[in-house]
Chains A and B, each alone.
Chain A
Amino acid sequence: MAQRPVTINPTKPGGIAVGLVLALTLGTLGAVAWRADWGCGLGAADWAAVRFTVTQALVSAGLSCLLAIPVARALARRRFWGRSVLVTLLGAPFLLPVIVAVLGLLAVFGRNGILNDALGALGLPEVSIYGFHGVVLAHVFFNLPLVTRLILQGWLSIPAERFRLAASLDAPVGRLLERPMLRTVLPPAFLIVFLICLTSFAVALTLGGGPRATTVELAIYQALRFDFDLGRAAMLASIQFGLCSIAAALAWRMTAVDGFGAGLDRSVDRWDGSRWGDAVVIALVATFLLVPLIMVIVRGVPGLLELPADILRAALRSVTIAIISAALCIGLTLALALRGGRIVGLVGVLPLASSSLVVGTGLFLLVYPIVNPAKLALVVTALVNAVLALPFALRSVAPAVDKITSDYARLGAILDMSTWVWTTRVILPRLRRPLGFAAGLAAALSMGDLGVIALFAGDAQETLPLAMYRLMGAYRMDAAAGAALVLLVLSFALFWICDRGGRVDADL
């Protein structure tokens, strides 16, 4: 966090937001632990799960970050037709429900996929996606676009004046501008991806090829669903939080403070880099990310005709939840980002380390004595989704707020700006881009979420992802593929509207 010479940010809403996030993450864990009958501790298999979880998360996060650097640099350096559409489309894998993305990946890399068909035609041996490498591949597929977007924002936050200066002095841009920027942007991005992969469940299990690929989240699922061992679930969830805290502390130590200073908000022109190199990087990554998505569309189109009439109501319900959830998320994010400080840094990553099953179970235990959970299903889902999307929103918004504060707080203090004027005139207009991205992400993530609703929903509260899973469970795989396509289009439309809205006059 940047040092602030003058404090004129509001702190009270931030305090409330901190309380809410702590209640939903650690509070729900507490509720589960409180109800537990404490029996035996963790076995060897649990520790094996912890080891596998950490290893795959480290490799997945490392690889996602390494690959994202050249992609973000190429996108930051080049202007070409369709660039802004591509930047938006790159967000899509991250927004997909896991099983849809996995089926899309399998259509390309599976035993019966495009890749193996091509290898077969060339007389080459088949490659198998199942195993450790498959898990990493899927995690990179999910997270590379996110890291790319986060780094791209870092690149665009270097003032245009610095690049002009570097170009006129013929100075090395990479060493003087890009490396320091990466030191501020990469560690938090790595942390986020590490934590996402830490709580992976369906990806790891489906592509991992067997019980070797057991994650802590699966062990929690087993403890809660099959053994009803709340104590073990609480212990495993605590381990996840512990790992999260260690990773967060390490990431903070490694994060450098941004020292570029203020610019004049001019658009960046670049004079360095190889045009062809950048084109190859962009083409490769676009192919890797977009072909599986195209396969989801191809599989889904025939299923559209088989969709039941109820799907419209489910879709409407999902969109409503997504919009409420995005609004809540933006409110929380602003409150936290404006408050600032270490506690916000921790609160900003805690939701990533929480198991949605533990959150759901804890909430259920808290709510059940008071009111029928089915009555609260949609409200609770919107709130939990908002909190689960918070880390991503905060990652995008907080650095921007810090930068604005360090650049303009003195000016604001000299002009004796009130908190209100400071927030509405200085902060918000400069936050449109990250806020739009954050709102889009929150809305889309909420669309695809299946975590909490499954535990709370009554019969008449089916959301789109739940409807999709129920179709699959009733042998109707084609209709489910159609529902997945509807889900993809709606998530993406929500993301696009918010994201575009945020950069309507911007150059990204």
Chain B
Amino acid sequence: MMKPIILTTVAGLCMATAATAETPVLTVMTYDSFTSEWGPGPAVEAAFEDTCACDLQFVGAGDGAALLARLQLEGPRTEADVVLGLDTNLTAAARVTGLFAPHGVTADLALPIAWDDAEFLPFDWGYFAFVGNAGADAPTSLRALADSDIKVVIQDPRSSTPGLGLLMWVKAAYGDDAGQIWADLADNIVTVTPGWSEAYGLFLEGEADAALSYTTSPAYHLIAEEDDSKVAWAFDEGHYMQVEVAGKVASTDVPELADQFLAFMVGDVFQTIIPTTNWMYPATTTVDGLPEGFDTLITPAKALLMSPEDALAARPAALDEWRNALSQ
């Protein structure tokens, strides 16, 4: 066993040195759907490689939570130079690992909230929302949904980022009364799925009147499928936000290239790719504005978001509340 291992290591080292001698490689670790054929990955790669004289390589790793777990598994020896795709429910835990360096980018961000984070820089954002069928009964608040007999599918906050988003939404909107809201919502919840895909799939199959998704989901159906039958429900309590961020890995061997990528990420080219590939709002105002169809989306009057540190601290108790209320 020993010999092949040593040989592979030596071969690996040789190849690594050979590669750095030619074109520098920037490794960006991100979630799967970013790098897929329909995601922003291919266009971003082509555009950045036009300007950087480098080779941009994506490493896909499940969803946002899997991304952080993967980085923690790899530790300081990671080959990743940039991690792209964490959200504010994960950044506090990510910061504690000490694996990230300050990004040093100042950008003119167009988020509905103030942003000040030395390590993590947003590349897109969206509002969580229940997405249902146009023309059907649409509740106007979480409270109204809980009091109705409308059926919804949600994701498990223990295995899914949108699921965790809803948990924080209810907590941010109702504080100490969150447990009561969950108890009242229990009979509206058809089932809890492991991830977003299963929940949205069940909704499209007609298993529920709505699924927890994003206010931008109807834009996909409208633009990609020319189907205007899906709408997001606007809720009076406000909508919880998801802000997706990237960070520079402290142990990167190409720090200048990583800085260059982060600056490129908040630039016009990257940001224009986002809306119709990642189906989220760009983090900065683009020259051409939003694509046609985005103007039909609901714009929540109030944006809710806990700070990363508050979100991390609130999670264990909120999870217990959720579990107890839905286990009755």
Contacts and interface: CB of A to CB of B under 8 A. Distances in A.
Nearest to B204: A477
Nearest to B32: A470
Interface stretch (B67-75, B250-258, B262-270, B296-304): B67-75
Contacts of B322: 211
* Dominant secondary structure of chain B at its interface with chain A: helix
A372 interface: yes
A392 interface: no
B220 interface: yes
A112 B192 contact: no
Contacts of B79: 372
Contacts of A106: 202, 205, 207
B327 A210 contact: yes
A85 interface: no
A209 interface: yes
Contacts of B62: 225, 454-455
Contacts of B12: 371-372
A202 interface: yes
A247 to B, nearest CB: 25
Contacts of B164: 226
Nearest to B161: A226
B55 to A, nearest CB: 13
A475 interface: yes
A483 to B, nearest CB: 12
B125 interface: no
Contacts of B191: 130, 206-210
A69 interface: no
A27 to B, nearest CB: 13
A201 B160 CA distance: 14
Interface stretch (B33-41, B109-117, B136-144, B171-179): B33-41
Quick one: which of A226, A455, A472 has the most chain B CB within 10 A?
A226
B72 A211 contact: no
A218 B320 CA distance: 15
B9 interface: yes
B205 A211 contact: no
B206 A112 contact: yes
Interface in A470-486: 470, 472-477, 480
B279 A226 contact: no
A102 to B, nearest CB: 8
B200 interface: yes
B119 interface: no
A225 B33 contact: no
A477 B62 CA distance: 18
Interface string B1-29: 00001001100100000000000000000
A256 interface: no
Contact of B37 (A205, A218, A222, A308): A308
Nearest to A224: B69
A361 B73 CA distance: 8
A201 B74 CA distance: 26
A411 B204 CA distance: 64
A226 B59 contact: no
B201 A458 contact: no
Interface in A65-119: 99, 102-103, 106-107, 110-112
Contact of B190 (A209, A221, A224, A459): A209
A107 B201 CA distance: 12
B200 to A, nearest CB: 7
Contact of B189 (A107, A210, A221, A308): A210
A370 B206 contact: no
A368 B36 contact: no
Interface string A191-235: 000000000011001111111101000100110111010000000
Interface string B183-201: 0001001111111111011
B326 interface: yes
A374 interface: yes
A130 B190 CA distance: 7
Nearest to B224: A475
A45 interface: yes
Interface in A362-376: 364-365, 368-372, 374
A477 B156 contact: no
B202 A458 contact: no
Interface string A370-403: 1110100000000000000000000000000000
Given A225-B159, A459-B59, A370 B8 contact: yes
Given A106-B207, A211-B326, A228-B72, A472 B192 contact: no
B58 interface: yes
B77 A369 contact: yes
Residue from A209, A222, A475 having most chain B Cβ neighbours under 10 A: A475
Nearest to B279: A475
B202 to A, nearest CB: 7
Give the most central of B8, B73, B156, B322: most A CB within 10 Å: B73
A210 B279 CA distance: 28
A408 interface: no
B66 A225 contact: yes
A201 B205 CA distance: 21
A132 interface: no
A234 to B, nearest CB: 14
B208 interface: yes
Interface in A238-265: none
A310 interface: yes
Given A205-B156, A218-B156, A472 B68 contact: no
A371 B77 CA distance: 12
Contact of B60 (A103, A112, A221, A459): A459
Contacts of B158: 218, 221-222, 226
Interface in A456-505: 457-459, 469-470, 472-477, 480
Contact of B326 (A99, A210, A473, A477): A210
Contacts of A222: 158-159
16 contacts: A106-B207, A111-B190, A130-B190, A205-B193, A206-B191, A208-B191, A209-B192, A221-B158, A225-B62, A226-B164, A228-B69, A369-B77, A473-B36, A473-B197, A475-B221, A477-B204
8 closest A-B pairs by beta carbon, nearest first, are A112-B206, A472-B197, A222-B158, A210-B326, A473-B33, A211-B323, A474-B38, A212-B327
Given A103-B201, A107-B205, 15 more contacts: A102-B198, A106-B202, A112-B206, A202-B194, A206-B198, A210-B192, A211-B156, A222-B158, A361-B73, A364-B73, A458-B60, A459-B60, A469-B197, A472-B197, A474-B38
Interface of B: 5, 8-9, 12, 32-33, 35-39, 57-62, 65-66, 68-70, 72-74, 77, 79, 93, 151, 156, 158-159, 164, 186, 189-198, 200-202, 204-208, 217, 220-221, 224, 279, 320, 322-323, 326-327
Interface of A: 45, 48, 99, 102-103, 106-107, 110-112, 130, 201-202, 205-212, 214, 218, 221-222, 224-226, 228, 308, 310, 361, 364-365, 368-372, 374, 454-455, 457-459, 469-470, 472-477, 480
